[in-house]
Amino acid sequence: MYLGRIVAIGRTPAGVNAAMYRVSSRSFPNREAVLRDRQVSIMPRSGFESDLQKNPYITYHCVRIAGAFAVVSNGSHTDPIAEKIAMNMPVRDAMTLGLLAMDYEKDELDTPRIVAAVHLTDPVGYLGIIRKDAVLVREFALEPGKAFYLSTYGHNAPNLRFQDPAFDAADAAAAARYVVDGGVFAEFEHPVTAAAALAGNGQFELASLVI
């Protein structure tokens, strides 16, 4: 099953929160997640920089830390949403405002913008999406050993149906790997790269994964 880009939020059995992002792509597979300066960016792989001339939406910051929250998304809306959260705007409002301001991507597929956020310690997370026909943002109570996810295609609404009942990760690198081939995520096709933020020791640990 092909779902496109995926954002996920979860809490490990040990009570540690995580936010994860996965690029799945059939059109632009030559990309990688690059960790630098406490954020993760999606970039064309060396030799494929010309892909930017074909689609300007394929490079962006996909992970940002905003105060006590980690924010992950599939586009340039990561930055304004993270900045509003860092300024103490409620997460639901920051997501809704950011998604409405940026709108869905004006490419051939009208690709939705998706976003997720988790708190450093509190068992709470958020998933949001703006599609051509809707904007939806929802708060989730996180449970140990469970992850909730949202994708650009198919599973494109934040609800309790789209979840993984056996989520676990020892560190951020394991969380990034999990959203590629762990649990329900192993069923989804065309993984390209991934990233994750995992809480611990008073801050979020970040990791990127190149497949």
Q: What is the pLDDT at residue 51?
A: 79
Topology of domain 6-210, CATH = Glutamine Phosphoribosylpyrophosphate, subunit 1, domain 1 (3.60.20)
Q: Which residues of the chain are modeled with pLDDT < 50?
A: none
pLDDT in tens, 50-93: 878 888 888 999 999 999 999 999 999 999 999 999 999 999 99
For residue 34, list its beta bridge partners: 41
The amino acid occupying position 113 is: R
Give the burial class of 156: count Cβ atoms within 10 A of its Cβ; 0-12 exposed, 13-18 middle, 19 or more buried.
middle
- Can you spell out the DSSP letters for 100-146? HHH-S--STT-PPEEEEEEESSSSEEEEEEEETTEEEEEEEE--BTE
- Can you spell out the DSSP letters for 34-46? EEETTEEEEEEPT
Domain spans of the chain, in order of start: 6-210
